[in-house]
Structure 1
Amino acid sequence: MDKPLKTPPPYPITSVDHALRAATILQMEGGATVSEIAERLGVARSTAHRLLAMLVYRDFAVQDEDRVYRAGPVLELAAHSQSLVSRLRATALPHLHRAVDVLDETTNLIIRTGDTARFIASVECHQALRVGSREGMVFPAHRTTAGLLLLADLTDEELDEVYSLARYHDRPGDRPDLPRLRTELKRLRRNGFAVNQERSERGLVAIGVPVRDQDGTAVAGLSVSMPSVRYDAHRLQALVAVLNATARALERDLAA
């Protein structure tokens, strides 16, 4: 098993977390108003306004003539990627909420960018002990449920390009064992789902399925995350069935 990657800091600073999440929203989705940022972060409009003003001051954001805040010069993301991420997230959110209503566990939507997996949407469940929102967080793709599923959609040549030695010249220890990874991806293709037991974070178990476009290409991964103490392997098939039903409904909405 890979060494767990991320552990939440023991003394999180809420204001810093809010500012970073706001910057991530602008970078990944192209723009937002004060009210939209306030709703996404669960803070007052005045708090959101102060956060955005500081991001503008530090060039992480700019405000256009329509009073919409957008990514500033410090943040970079291609315009077509912003549009795709924004559409995926907006279409997926109602489905994530419905999955939470059924499973009462946190659900997520993840995309792959190169060798990383990005959480673009996350809906928390209502249980006291729960996996918090991972929205905006980035992990190595081979350490996450959805990242593995999206890697499994690649050809051997595409996988070689993602994990080329040249890309890892300065960080060879971060490059996964490709023969072992290929074996795992082959199993995932056969199963159609993935299970992550404390691979990316301690105390967390996640199950995921792919979300495909009309051509059959996996464009995102849909996952449910829960504390490992609550995971019961006997529920696996039921969890996968709910995720598959949610993914198919999402695919129909994306096609429409």
Structure 2
Amino acid sequence: MDKPNQPEAVSSVMKVFAILEALGDQEDIGITELSQRLMMSKSTTYRFLQTMKMLGYVSQEGEADKYSLTLKLFELGAKSLEYVDLIDLADKEMRYISEQTNEALHLGMLDENAIIYIHKIDSGYNLRMQSKIGRRNPLYSTAIGKVLLAEKQEGFVRAQLAPVEFIKHTEKTLENTEQLLSELTLVKQQHFAEDNEEQEPGLRCIATPIYDRFGNVTAGLSISFPTIRFDEKRLSYYVELLHQACRNISEQLGYKHYPV
């Protein structure tokens, strides 16, 4: 059996994806407009469209000269996301930050009215934060807790915290929901949260959000420092490290519009 001409095969694949992208940019489009936009002949465009229609990726409105995408591409994308493991994705990014800072990294998710750590990388220093995977901590006194709540509706935040007792872990711990809501406004604006000795004396944490494919905050990633090692002048650097990591993770989860 003769092998297909490689340059011609590549050209055909490129034309298919050009058509898909054009249809993705417009709800429905006719052959004449599509062929002009892609600088392909109408006969070639028609041939590709009919094949894509037969395979279920394109639909045609009756006998009208209008074509649009079906949900089959979405179904394929959704299937690929079933195999995405958040911890595996985060581990690579966390190890990179660990190499740059030698500090502790935590990945946390919302668990009822608390956060739960689902992955961590310990600091390389002797003086470091003591934590365990599976450990729960309050939402109101942790940086991860704050980023998990920052983009939620006020009613959701109030409902989550209604049964929660605000324990004064340190003199800097927030005392009530009103104080937390005020801080969440800032967290949402700046796209990162801080725990400035609110959970433990002498411990500083910074966290940024991870988004799922629907644009919902699904997890938070944090870096923790003993205050004696924290350099305020490097805050923006630490935040950028976290943002880049969370941006990469979010994109691999299917979200392409990370806010910063």
**What TM-score bracket applies, with the shorter chain setting the length?**
0.5 to 0.7
- Report how far residue 230 of structure 1 moved: 0.4
Q: Secondary structure at the match of 1:222?
A: strand
Amino acid at match of 1:103: T
Q: SS of the residue aligned with 2:129?
A: coil
How far the C-alpha of 1:172 sits from its partner, in A, is 7.8
The structure number with the bigger radius of gyration is 2
| Residues 106 and 132, structure 1, Cα contact 8 Å, conserved in 2 | no
Q: Which of the pair has the greater relative contact order for Cα pairs under 8 Å at 6+ separation?
A: 1
Which residue does the alignment assign to 2:92? Answer: 94
Tell me which of 110, 113, 118 is aligned to 1:112.
Answer: 110
CA distance in 1, matches of 2:160, 2:215: 21
Q: 1:98 to 1:183 in 2, by over 3 A?
A: same
Of 134, 145, 149, which aligns to 1:151? 149
Q: Aligned with 2:249: secondary structure?
A: helix
Kindly tell me: are residues 173 and 209 of structure 1, through their superposed partners in 2, closer, same or farther at Cα, counting changes over 3 Å?
closer
Structural mapping, 1:66-215, within 5 Å: 87-164=85-162, 167=163, 177-215=176-214
Counterpart amino acid of residue 209 in structure 1: T
Cα pair 2:207 2:222 within 8 Å, conserved = yes
Contiguous gaps of at least 5 residues in structure 1? 1-83
1:200-238 CA-partner distances (Å, limit 9, x unpaired)? 112211111111112221100010011111011111000
- Give the length in aligned residue pairs: 168
Paired with 1:107 and 1:186, the residues of 2 have a C-alpha distance of 25
Give the CA deviation at 1:125: 2.7
Name the aligned partner's letter for residue 246 of structure 1.
Answer: A
User: Residues of 2 paired with 1:138 and 1:209: CA distance?
Assistant: 18
Aligned to 2:234: 235
Task: Give the direction of change, closer, same or farther, for the CA distance of 1:156–1:127 in structure 2 (3 Å limit).
Answer: same
Query: Identity of aligned pairs, percent?
Result: 25
1:216 aligns with 2:194: no
Structure 2-normalised TM-score?
Answer: 0.59
Structure 2 residues not aligned, in runs of 5+: 1-81, 169-173, 256-260
How far, CA to CA, are the matches of 1:102 and 1:250 in structure 2? 18
* Counterpart for residue 36 of structure 2: none
Q: Distance in 1 between matches of 2:151 and 2:144?
A: 11
Alpha-carbon distance, 1:249 to partner: 1.2
Give 1:131 deviation, angstroms.
2.5
Q: Which residue of 2 aligns with 1:26?
A: none
133 and 163 in structure 1: CA distance in 2 versus 1, 3 angstrom threshold = closer
Residues 73-100 of structure 1, C-alpha deviation per residue, up to 9 Å, x if partnerless? Answer: xxxxxxxxxxx9x932232112111110
> Is the 1:117–1:147 contact (alpha carbons within 8 Å) kept by the matching residues of 2?
yes
Alpha-carbon separation, structure 2, partners of 1:133 and 1:189: 27
Please state how far the C-alpha of 1:128 moved relative to its aligned partner.
2.8
AA partner of residue 254 (structure 2):
A
Report how far residue 111 of structure 1 moved: 0.5
